[in-house]
Structure 1
């Protein structure tokens, strides 16, 4: 594929994926807004207790094989079929394991209700195991529109089902029904979109390289998952279901949508970078532009959330959740630092450097656990502060570690990140001062004013600072190119 054609495909993929995720994000936020007013913090806390545990098992269900399929230079139909059966088998095994250990999960939290919740949610492993390679196949073939459409439809139907269940008094079961519905419809939609059915597995087909890649990746993801979810685990065990329910709402309102937007950027970046593997100059250019695109959209937007945490909490969750405002602001800061380092993850996957990613993840996890355990002395706000501190420490270290094992020049990434941090901090300050001046006005007025204040800061920086103007122009060119070629 030529440079121009690959660039056009990547640009269209970015716009298609982000547009789809924008709609899915709207559904996610709508889910939080509606269900937070229909369900209690304890309902959310009970489901979150199980979700933390089964999320670990879900990493083994994927086993890194979806990324192995996407980044492979060549993938035969028989290899694809073998990967399908591997993921399906892992899904079955893990569903059985979670079903059997449900009393242990309930005992760890001292919550008997978690037995039945675990039994039902175990079915999600089978559903997601069957869907894994269909999603990977659509990604590998750059069928981003079909994948985005499946995400949107499944999320919308699941939300409608949850609202109906909650209105009928189902309580926390409404959240469980939502998850099962989403997984089921996702499986049906991606299977239909991919247009193939797996044949019998073959032992003669070479799979060792993909399994080794997957093992290194899943080991890395396991360490990362534990470090990223130690906050929920500590809160659930130490403080109980209600504080965890409160914390999980802030996390769901901010970090889950952020992940839904950020992770699909990998969906676009990984197959493109895999094609640029041997062209270091084009590879580095793509990574640098990717960081700018994420930084001047997501990170700057999170700056506004940092400054306007209180009215955002009131607007989206309601008065009974106002104690979460500082948690939301701290998580926004954590998400900003995470995003600045996220492009490094693309490099590790595209270059097949998962063993080096694993080694870094071990050190990062140790720092995370220490910060969160220290922060937990001050309740859920302290936990959020510890989580934010971890990400602030981690982003420069992660790029430094990457520079040790790859030819990628990280100095431009550091420089761009510092510019983005400076702009985001100025936007956070402007938003916060605006909110303070409008504390007697309705929350929606304060949120709109905060957004305007942030936009003004961005506009002034773009007009007055040439380097930032060039950054913004580069991001704008990506969007313009995609619209022209789309």
Structure 2
């Protein structure tokens, strides 16, 4: 008897979340330790180079990971051809990035950037070789293997960076961290994949994969440009030291929580692709996904927003206190992004890459306008613009998507509203607690967290929140229990208030 797809999704989510929880701990250790060994200038230099790598990563993948995972059928020959295409793209991009070192130096007036850009260009080549190995692990739902690989890579990368920083390597410690991480991911994926690609053959056409991938590239570029406009703006207007401060706050929140949202796509997209023809089952995954992201990420984000001052003191040190207001804005931005992230899964799982690109361009214009307008108020204004963007586009995203494909619009709006009401309450209560007490940062963190969580638990007196809680608990049980043979597959069911069974489709 085939195992339940819902159980596979839940177990996969558990593996992925477990790995990402470990990576978030490592990320926090990286921030806490390396921020005390390196300077804001060091982080500012790496932040500039990572923008370049990020652009290269979009082209390096070329949307072929999503294309191969989403495809109903994929032959061995097509898989091999996609491997060589990703490798070729990685080689070209590595050369282009190496040559871009001098223009980047002239633009930013930082001679150290030349060596950093040239050395880190090898990351694009390494990741090009890794692409299809990772894609095939995702397609096979081998989430446990991917989780182990990710944790090992993060541990080795952080360890190498700490050792290098202690040895006085300065910003080169961050360069080494990036390279070790990419190499470990490649070795781990290749060993887990257990396949050697054959030579490229025209007998196995991949044109439709390339067309799908191109639309994904265009959408990703629009999204990435919107996500990086603040980094470029801060670096250009306020310098690398200010950028290092901004980047540390961003890494502490947005980057950390992105490490949960993005890898969860490796679970959600292949599962949703398999059930896309069954609207009832598909709706249940969409609704459960938003609730899981909203409550699962929203509650810790709400606590960090309310307790930003003690969090910065503990994680970064008193010399980074200027990052406190930035941290609060990034928490809000990450919250709104989490609520809308399920829409991305819908686009990809249903093969709506072209429509995703069109929406991404609209969202890009809104975000850039918000960030540029905020930049006239300094770095804090930029961070406020980062929050304003997803606040404006959250409602737009569901309206846009509902005109293209059937989705449970009413249920998603109501579910998101419930998440926002609860998380805003937690933020207000934890903030009020920390500002009424005069204690060391650790006591403020504990007291604020306790009162904030108690305030959140009080919402359980409302039936609608109890139903949400039961839905999430049921999903958690699927994660931690082994699948038993039965008469047929079962999926996570929407709550009575989710409206999945009787919602009005647009």
Shorter-chain TM-score above 0.5: yes
Deviation sequence 1:284-332 (CA, Å, 0-9, x none): 1111001111111101221111111111111100111011000001000
> How do 1:190-339 residues align onto structure 2 when only pairs under 5 Å count?
190-339=189-338
Cα distance in 2 for partners of 1:114, 1:46 equals 7
Cα distance in 2 for partners of 1:445, 1:472 equals 29
- Using the size of structure 1 for normalisation, the TM-score is 0.98
Which of 460, 476, 480 is matched with 1:479 structurally? 476
Cα distance in 1 for partners of 2:57, 2:106 equals 21
- Using the size of structure 2 for normalisation, the TM-score is 0.94
CA RMSD of aligned residues (A): 1.0
> How do 1:3-402 residues align onto structure 2 when only pairs under 5 Å count?
5-402=4-401
Cα distance in 2 for partners of 1:145, 1:451 equals 32
Residue 409 of structure 1, CA deviation: 2.2
SS of match in other structure, 1:197: coil
Partner of residue 450, structure 2: 452
Q: Which runs of 4+ in 1 moved over 6 A?
A: none
Residue 355 of structure 1, CA deviation: 0.7
Partner of residue 441, structure 1: 439
Contact 1:296 1:472 in 2 (8 A): no
Partner of residue 487, structure 2: none
SS of match in other structure, 2:196: coil
Residue 399 of structure 1, CA deviation: 1.1
Deviation sequence 1:379-406 (CA, Å, 0-9, x none): 1111000000111111111111110100
Cα distance in 2 for partners of 1:384, 1:182 equals 29
Unmatched runs of 5 consecutive residues or more in structure 2: 484-506
Residue 6 of structure 1, CA deviation: 0.7
Deviation sequence 1:331-353 (CA, Å, 0-9, x none): 00000000000000000000000
Deviation sequence 1:141-172 (CA, Å, 0-9, x none): 00001001000001101101000100011110
Count the aligned residue pairs.
483
Establish whether residue 426 from structure 1 lines up as the match of residue 418 from structure 2: no
Cα distance in 2 for partners of 1:381, 1:372 equals 10
> How do 1:400-419 residues align onto structure 2 when only pairs under 5 Å count?
400-419=399-418
Contact 1:84 1:198 in 2 (8 A): yes
Contact 1:87 1:132 in 2 (8 A): yes
Unmatched runs of 5 consecutive residues or more in structure 1: none
SS of match in other structure, 2:428: helix
Cα distance in 1 for partners of 2:18, 2:451 equals 25
Cα distance in 2 for partners of 1:96, 1:106 equals 17
Deviation sequence 1:216-261 (CA, Å, 0-9, x none): 0010000000001100000111111000000000111111110111
Cα distance in 1 for partners of 2:201, 2:439 equals 66
Cα distance in 2 for partners of 1:248, 1:176 equals 16
Partner of residue 466, structure 2: 469
Cα distance in 1 for partners of 2:190, 2:443 equals 44
Partner of residue 494, structure 2: none
Cα distance in 1 for partners of 2:5, 2:439 equals 49
Residue 485 of structure 1, CA deviation: 1.7
SS of match in other structure, 1:485: coil
